[in-house]
Amino acid sequence: LGVYEMGYDLVCRACGRHTKQDVFRCPHCNGILDCRFDLEDPPRYRSILQGAKGFWDYRPFFPVAGERPVSLGEGNTPLVAAPRLASQLGMQGVYVKNEGMNPSGTFKDRCQSIAYTKAQEMAAPATIIGSAGNAGAAAAAYAAASGIPCFVVVPADTNMERLAQTLQYGANLIRVQGNVSDCIELLETVCKERGWQDMTTAHSHNPFQGEGTKTIAYELARDMEWDVPDWIIVPIGGGGILSSIYKGYQEMYTLGLIPRMPKMAGVQEAGCAAVAEAFEKGAAPQAIQRVQNPTGVAVAIKDAYPLDGETALQAIYDSGGVAARVTAGQIAQAQGELGRSCGVFAEPASAATVAALFKLREAGVVQKEDRAVCIITGNGLKDAGFALQQILQPPAIPMSQAALNAQIDQLLGN
Ligand SMILES: *Cc1c(COP(=O)(O)O)cnc(C)c1O
Ligand SMILES: [Zn+2]
C-alpha cells in the first residue's frame, strides 16, 4: 500500500507541494498537511451528498479506501429544533446538532472512525493519542473495534467518566502531570522511535481524522434541505472541529449545492481563550499566543495552545464570523436552559455554544431574524460531576404513600 488511486492529495501548508503518499507530515519540509479533494465531476459528488443516509455513504469524501470501515454507527446525529430556546432568545430559528448521540458520546467518533480505518489500511502496529479525555475515549473505542493496540495519554486530572470509558474499551491509559497540550507534545518522539501512529485530533498530528468531522456540515445541509443557517456556533479547543465544519461547507459551495456560506462563531471559556484573544485584537491567525495557565470548567476545550487555531481563526475571519468567550457561570446556566427547553443534555464545552448565543444575541451580533445552529459536541454524561454541582440533590424520602404525596406537594410549591 502507500499510494492510492483516490480523489485527494495531501497538500503542504508550508511549501505547497502535493503528495499522494500516506504520510503524516510533508516529506519535503515537515510542514502540516491538508487533504484536498479534486471534486472533478461535480454531478457525481453532488448526488453522493444528496443521497447519503449515513456516515459511510460519504466515503468518496474520505481519505481512505474504506472497503472495510472501522465503524460503530458514528455520525448521522439528530438536528433538533429548539423553538422554546429561540423564543427566549427572541429569534426565528435555533437548532442544536446533538453530537452527544455518537457511540462514545462526542463528535470525536467521526474523527476516530476515519483515523482507525486509515491505520488499518496502513497496517499500523500500534496507536497513541494525547487527549483531554474525549478523543482518547473515542480512540479507545475504535481501537477496540479494529483490534489495533491503543495508548491514551491524558492529563492526570481527567475525570472518572472519561477514564472509566477509556479503560473499559481496553486501552492502555497513561495519566500525565500536565495539561492536554503537554500530553500531545510528548508523543512525537515515541511515534518516531516505535513507528506508531499518532491519533491526536489535530491536523499537525494526523492529517486524516479531520475529514470525518466535515460530515457535520454535510448532514446539516441535508437536514436543512440545502439551505444554510446564518450562524454555526462551535466550541474551540484545538480548533479542528470549527475548521472542518467550515471545510465541509466550502466543498458543498464549490459543488454548487448551497447558495452561500454560514458565519462561523467560535466559542472559548474565559480562562483559556487564545483564539478569542487574537480575534479581539484583530490579530493575524499566525499570531495566536499560547495561554500560560489555562483554567476553566469546560475541560474538553481547555487547550493551552490551539493546534488548529490558525485555520479556525481564518475561517472565522473569512466567513464574517466572531470568536467569543463565556464564563463558567454562563456555561452552567446555559446547560440548564438547554436541558429544560429542549431535552438535550450537553457537557460544559458544548453548553458554551448556547451561552455564547445568548451573549451574541444580547450584543446585537446575532439578529432576531437570523437562524443559528449550536453544535452540541459532547454528551452531558461525560461530566456528571459538573452537572450535579449546579443542582440540589433531592432528599431520600421514606417508602410511604404519605411521604410521596408530601414530597410532590412540596415540589408543586403547595
Ligand atoms: C474535542 C472537543 C471539542 C473541541 O474540538 P477541537 O477540534 O479541539 O476544537 C469541543 N467539545 C467537545 C465535547 C470535545 O470533545
Ligand atoms: Zn512542505
Per-residue pLDDT at 393: 85
- Look at the chain and count its residues: 414
Per-residue pLDDT at 6: 73
Instruction: List 269's β-bridge partners, or say none.
Output: 272, 326
Q: Read off the pLDDT band of 7 (50, 70, 90).
A: confident
Per-residue pLDDT at 2: 38
State mean pLDDT over 51-59: 97
177 vs 414, more confident: 177
- Which sign, positive or negative, has the C-alpha torsion 180, 181, 186, 192? positive
Kindly identify the ligand whose nearest atom is closest to the C-alpha of 13: 2
Q: Read off the pLDDT band of 1 (50, 70, 90).
A: very low
User: What is the DSSP secondary structure assignment for residue 286, as one 8-state letter?
Assistant: G
Q: Which residues surround ligand 2, an ion (CB under 5 A)?
A: 12, 14-15, 26, 28-29, 31
Encoded amino acid at 248, one letter:
G
Q: Read off the pLDDT band of 116 (50, 70, 90).
A: very high
State mean pLDDT over 34-51: 95
What is the Cα–Cα distance from 340 to 391, expressed in whole angstroms? Answer: 13
What is the Cα–Cα distance from 139 to 149, expressed in whole angstroms? Answer: 10
For the CA of 133, the closest atom of ligand 1 is: 15
> Residues 252-303: pLDDT tens digits?
999 999 999 999 999 999 999 999 999 999 999 999 999 999 999 999 999 9
**What is the distance in A from the centroid of ligand 2 to the CA of 34?**
11
240 lines ligand 1 (CB under 6 A): yes
User: Exposed (0-12), middle (13-18) or buried (19+): which is 292, by Cβ within 10 Å?
Assistant: exposed
Cell of 56: 459511510
Strand order in the sheet with 371-376: 79-81, 93-98, 371-376, 231-235, 263-269, 322-326
Per-residue pLDDT at 3: 41
Which residue's CA lies nearest to atom 2 of ligand 1? Answer: 300
> Residues 322-344: pLDDT tens digits?
999 999 999 999 999 999 999 99
DSSP 195-242: TPEE--SSTTT-SSTHHHHTHHHHHHHHHTTT---SEEEEE-SSSHHH
Instruction: List 268's β-bridge partners, or say none.
Output: 325
275 lines ligand 1 (CB under 6 A): no
Pocket test for ligand 1, best of 241, 247, 386 (most atoms within 8 A of CB): 241
Tell me the pLDDT of the chain averaged across its residues: 96
Q: Read off the pLDDT band of 5 (50, 70, 90).
A: low
66 lines ligand 1 (CB under 6 A): no
What is the Cα–Cα distance from 313 to 310, expressed in whole angstroms? Answer: 5
153 lines ligand 1 (CB under 6 A): no
User: What is the DSSP secondary structure assignment for residue 300, as one 8-state letter?
Assistant: G
Confirm if 218 and 77 have CB atoms less than 8 A apart.
no
**Residue 285: how many CB atoms within 10 A of its CB?**
18
State mean pLDDT over 17-46: 95
Kindly identify the ligand whose nearest atom is closest to the C-alpha of 109: 1
Per-residue pLDDT at 4: 45
Q: Which residue has the cell 519535503?
A: 28
The percentage of residues in the chain with a pLDDT greater than 70, rounded to a whole number, is 99
Closest by CA position to 107, among listed 222, 265, 219: 219
Cell of 405: 404525596
3 vs 180, more confident: 180
